[in-house]
Amino acid sequence: MRMIAFRISNKYPYLPLTPLHYPVAYALYTLRKKRTLPGLTVGSMFPDLEIPFVLLLFGTDRLLLHSLLGAITIGTPLSGLFTASIYPRLLSSLFGVEANLVKEKTQLSFTLVVSCLVGNLSHVALDLLNHLYNPLFWPFAPPILSPLCLALGGLTASFWLVHTLLIGLFVTLLLTHRDQLWEPLLVGE
């Protein structure tokens, strides 16, 4: 069974569904409330910002920010700055969340940076499940063949399995927070 809607080429068969990294960020937040939800959220999605650029420049869909080195050294500080400076305005303008409430949770701090780090690393780890090749050790080694993706039945099977699970988690979160949707899901407690 081939996916047509998300297919972009034979070499890079599926587009990323970046928002589906959010349920993992939320799960990490509920496991340890000392982290900030905004940092985990931005960090978990931040690596995909490189995709259009590396696709045009290098002909691949994931590179620096999808490696451990890039997630730690580049992704974490940039996502921390994004979370502290842009995230409050973005939530305020798009979702009507009070900017001052968001600013309290997004002050640049050690906790915010650690949350962004955990978010970036969760993105890299999740991609091991649903991408056949991953630049995990770039630039020191070529992209690795993901044993996790293969264990789930290969690219198509792992894509459908992981994305179905993440969509289910996403819908569950939306339904359980339907009374007060945006603040608990985008800012946290």
How many CB atoms sit inside 10 A of residue 30's CB?
A: 12
Report the predicted TM-score, pTM, of the whole model to 2 decimal places: 0.86
Q: Which residue has the tokens 């996403």?
A: 170
Ordered by start, the domain boundaries in the chain are 18-186
Identify which has the larger pLDDT, 3 or 99. Answer: 99
Q: What is the pLDDT of residues 19-47, one digit of tens each?
A: 889 999 999 999 988 899 999 999 999 99
Q: What is the pLDDT of residues 100-135, one digit of tens each?
A: 888 888 999 999 999 999 999 999 999 888 877 888
- Mean pLDDT across the stretch 150-157? 86
- Helix count (H) and strand count (E) of the chain? 11, 2
* Cβ atoms of 87 and 42 closer than 8 Å: yes
Return the closest-CA partner of residue 3 out of 130, 129, 150, 139.
Answer: 130
Distance CA 76, CA 80 (A): 6
Q: What is the pLDDT of residues 9-23, one digit of tens each?
A: 444 445 557 888 999
pLDDT of residue 5: 33
